[in-house]
Amino acid sequence: MNDTILISLIAIILFSIWVTYKIIKSSYLSKRQKIVNIIMTWLIPLLWGLLVLQIIKPPKSSTMTRGTRGRKKSSGNSDNWFHTTGGGGIP
């Protein structure tokens, strides 16, 4: 029983250290936000750590450049209009 508690405590401490590192390295938070989040990470270790990791992760969208902006070939708007209007009035 004591080993389980010790291992859990060590895991939570290591997780909090890792979250603290991620907060410090984050460019999405101001200095004040970093301080508050680090304090909260240590006061509410697991819950706040998971929340902060969701907040500071980079957005999924990427910057569109000339090289990455390919256009899909389309057969025209008529096909989209047909599906949008449920047949477009065609019997």
Nearest CA-CA partner of 33 in 13, 52, 59: 52
Residue-level pLDDT at 87: 58
- pLDDT confidence of residue 89: 55
pLDDT for the residue numbered 32:
95
In whole angstroms, give the CA distance from residue 62 to residue 68.
10
pLDDT in single tens digits along all 91 residues of the chain: 789 999 999 999 999 999 999 999 998 889 999 999 999 999 998 898 888 888 887 767 666 677 666 655 555 545 555 555 555 555 5
Query: Cα(35)–Cα(41) distance, rounded to whole angstroms?
Result: 10
